[in-house]
Amino acid sequence: MTFRSRLAAAWQSNNSLLCVGLDPDLNKFPAHLKGRPDAVFEFCRAIVDATADLACAFKPQIAYFAALRAEDQLEALIEHIHARHPQVPVVLDAKRGDIGATAQQYAREAFERYQADALTVNPYMGFDSVEPYLEWKDRGLIVLCRTSNPGGSDLQFLEMAGGRKLYQHVAELVATKWNPHGQAALVVGATFPQELADVRAIVGDLPLLVPGIGAQGGDVEATVKAGRTADGSGLMISSSRAILYAGQGEDFAEAARAVALATRDEVNRYRG
């Protein structure tokens, strides 16, 4: 079963376009978890168990685990998701990008070691830096296109000879040349709805991973209307901090569930 078909099944079974980002920051953890050697796993496990019927994907951000020497807890977390919530695919957010021989190692890290269903990658080094991942035909590859941070414009919004912006060129490259087996998706930030609509027009019904709502301030209605496909799906709308740190007490997972539910339902209002 391909990443795309698993994602489509999760859109439907959970009636959700919400991707729950897992960015574990010890400083923001509830007091009762602090100091536990498995705090990272336990925090994320509780969030996952509380939101698994509301999400179309989970997206652990590897930097947060790596900074804490918690790779083993990331492995355990993804194993837990596959075992308990097999309907929800896992996107490993690592934004890898390197030459072919090195990309093969990153592919082994993401797809064999961590058993991720999809991986985010950076397009700057071109197609041969992306190609090795495509050998795992049941996995997805989500290419950075237009990112939600202010500095995203420094390169992505540059105008090319011919009048197009760099991010538009990346969208077209991925849709037409970098996706021989239907494994590709794109990252497009919610902070720029017009550009999201733009990318949607270029790439047809390719899935889009959309960070930037919640803590980063993107507007949900504008985002969904700009990015949805004709059937009202096509999106993984990602929220991390607003869900993870909704509560500070022992009931943090319930608080997270409440925000996830409200966000899912708000998104669904605009699916058309």
**Known catalytic residues?**
95
Residue numbers 37-96 binding its own copies by CB under 8 A: 61, 63-64, 66-67, 69, 71, 95-96
Q: How many C-beta atoms surround the C-beta of residue 42 within 10 A?
A: 17
Contact pick of 15, 115, 153, 268 for its own copies (by CB under 8 A) = 153
In angstroms, give the least distance from the CB of 272 to its own copies: 29
Residues 97-126 close enough to bind its own copies by CB under 8 A: 97-103, 105-106, 108-109, 112-113, 122-126
CA distance 134 to 179: 8
CA distance 148 to 272: 24
How many binding residues for its own copies (CB under 8 A)?
Answer: 53
Amino acid at 248: Q
Based on the shown chain and the rule CB under 8 A, indicate whether residue 197 belongs to the binding site for its own copies: no
CB of 137 to its own copies, least distance (A): 19
* C-alpha to C-alpha distance for 86 and 59, rounded to whole angstroms: 14
**Cβ atoms of residues 256 and 232 within 8 Å:** no
CA distance 206 to 83: 28
Distance CA 54, CA 262 (A): 10
The length of the chain in residues reads 272
147 or 223: CB nearest its own copies: 147
Shortest separation between residue 75's beta carbon and its own copies, angstroms:
8
Query: CB neighbours of 158 closer than 8 A, spacing ≥ 6?
Result: 165, 166
For residues 13 and 149, which CB has a smaller minimum distance to its own copies in the complex? 149
Amino acid at 236: M
Which span sits near its own copies by CB under 8 A: 38-46, 146-154, 245-253, 255-263? 146-154
Q: Is 201 a binder of its own copies (CB under 8 A)?
A: no
Considering the rule CB under 8 A, would residue 150 count as an interface residue with its own copies? yes
Does 135 sit near its own copies (CB under 8 A)? no
Q: Which helix (H) or strand (E) holds 13?
A: helix 3-13
Closest CA to 237 of 254, 262, 258, 255: 262
Interacting residues with its own copies (CB under 8 A):
23, 61, 63-64, 66-67, 69, 71, 95-103, 105-106, 108-109, 112-113, 122-131, 144, 147-156, 158-161, 163, 166, 169-170, 173
